[in-house]
Amino acid sequence: MASATSLFDPIRIGPLEVAGRLFKTATAETRASEDGYVGDELVDWYETLARGGVPLIITGNLYVAPEGKSTYRMCAADRDDRIPGLARIAAACHRHGAKLVAQLSHCGRQLILGHTGVEEAVSASSVREPVMGAKPRALRVEELPGVVDAFASAAVRCQRAGFDGVQIHAAHGYLLSQFLTPHTNRRTDAYGGSFENRLRLVREVVEETRRRVGPGFALLLKCNGDDLLPLRHGLHVEDNVRIATALVSAGIDAVEVSVGHYESGFPMTAGRFDGFYKELGTRGAGIHMDALRRFSLVRFDRALGALSNRLWPAREGFNLGYARHFKRVLSVPVISVGGFRTRAAMESALAAGDCDAIACGRGFIADPFLFDHLRTGTPGPQCDSCNLCLARSGTGPVDCWNPVVREEKEKVLAERLAAREGSS
Ligand SMILES: Cc1cc2nc3c(=O)[nH]c(=O)nc-3n(C[C@H](O)[C@H](O)[C@H](O)COP(=O)(O)O)c2cc1C
Ligand code: SF4
């Protein structure tokens, strides 16, 4: 695929013609109802982003089965009665010309037991997740067709709701990633051991989803560039390129390249971590953790923050080195996510041919009008990678909680609202 030089060049993703090359990546919105239904708060969140001109929005992760729910107020695609609510999001985005892709996920072992109503975690094997603490039950082989069906059925629901595509979440140590990674997959049946066996479940998910949605619906994949599991048997970039290549043959139209499991720490949101762990332990998902974990987050906040600042410093395009490997081999668009904030860095990645499109998460949480602002050269709120949005995402609706950036964001939102009211 020839390299683009502008964020505003169109791009084809399978059946989809997308009007530009900067996408909103998945960030769990935690704005659905407690039991996973879409309401006004979630529709407004997406409509604001779509108004900002971003050509393609990937939703925060939607759970495909009740036991795959990882967080508070997470949105669901696990039953047909979710369709009318999901259709409201699709209509709101399409009103402003944005294409909409639902990220489909099952958390497997990465959850705080009891917090979301899930009392038993499942995974490829019974390997404890050290950050959240869950020791999962290994899924029985006869349960795996149910996992495949859950993903494929959720995709069909999104299609019926008017979405333009789905993204299968096989990154970040969630269930599908747990099957791919040798550290979390110790199975000795047809779904564990060799490369082909560890790939089998994800391949079946992709094949069945493609079979059920047909060729006219975009199918994206989010996968890791590296698992970053030191001293563990994790996957590295050459393994992940091989996985993505096989999944493109199974029906994937574009691959977004990220990094890490929960167990890796926070390489996937590299940035600043000053006060982050205390916030996590007192106002974020940490409040649902056991007393020892909660205490450690607060007590060792400074040391953990200083270490994290060294290990995972803010850097534009921090996963671009991995994307480059995928780009050399894949025949479909490669999307790079991680740390992008400026048009110069995004366009230099495109011009170098390291990726075909850029995805941003925190940049859009700070500034829903980021795409418009970059297009017109207008200064907008600048995410400073403080990670407070992430620290609080387990207990409150996702938003920018940096006081300085937030003030700027509210000003921009108020100006946009006034301009809309003035023109109507
Ligand atoms: C608050 C928050 C929620 C996130 N939720 C998801 C999610 O639902 N699915 C996912 O694949 N990644 C999720 N991520 C990771 C982002 O998609 C992205 O990979 C990461 O934030 C790096 O990109 P950025 O520097 O543009 O934010 C989340 C990140 C943040 C900060
Ligand atoms: S809280 Fe705001 S400034 Fe901080 S990382 Fe999140 S979006 Fe960026």
**Residue among 29, 283, 365 to mutate when testing ligand 2 (max atoms within 8 A of CB):** 365
- Give the pLDDT score at 286: 84
- Give the pLDDT score at 2: 59
- Give the pLDDT score at 5: 78
Determine the distance separating the centroid of ligand 2 and the alpha carbon of 80, expressed in angstroms: 34
Query: Would the CB of 365 count as within 6 Å of ligand 2?
Result: yes
Q: How far apart are CA 281 and CA 295, in angstroms?
A: 8
Q: Which atom of ligand 2 is nearest to the CA of 401?
A: 1
Query: Would the CB of 274 count as within 6 Å of ligand 2?
Result: no
Determine the distance separating the centroid of ligand 1 and the alpha carbon of 268, expressed in angstroms: 7
Query: Would the CB of 270 count as within 6 Å of ligand 2?
Result: no
* One-letter identity of residue 33: S
- Name the token pair of 48: 């604001």
- Give the pLDDT score at 396: 87
- Give the pLDDT score at 116: 79
Determine the distance separating the centroid of ligand 2 and the alpha carbon of 386, expressed in angstroms: 5
Q: Which residues contact 423 (CB under 8 A, 6 or more apart)?
A: none
Q: How many CA atoms lie within 13 A of 331 on its CB side?
A: 9
Q: Which residues contact 142 (CB under 8 A, 6 or more apart)?
A: none
- Give the pLDDT score at 287: 85
Nearest CA to ligand 1 atom 17: 26
CATH of domain 11-271+315-384: 3.20.20.70
Written as tens digits, the pLDDT of the chain (424 aa) is: 656 779 999 999 999 999 999 999 999 999 999 999 999 999 999 999 999 999 999 999 999 999 999 988 999 999 999 999 999 999 999 999 999 999 999 999 999 888 878 889 999 999 999 998 999 999 999 999 999 999 999 999 999 999 999 999 999 999 999 999 999 999 999 999 999 999 999 999 999 999 999 999 999 999 999 999 998 999 999 999 999 999 999 999 999 999 999 999 999 999 999 999 999 999 888 888 889 998 999 899 999 999 999 999 999 999 999 999 999 999 999 999 999 999 999 999 999 999 999 999 999 999 999 999 999 999 999 999 999 999 998 888 999 999 999 999 999 999 988 888 887 7
| Least distant ligand from the CA of 345 | 1
Q: Which of 365, 277, 360, 407 is nearest to 29 (CA)?
A: 365
| Least distant ligand from the CA of 367 | 2
- Name the token pair of 384: 């400073």
- Give the pLDDT score at 41: 97
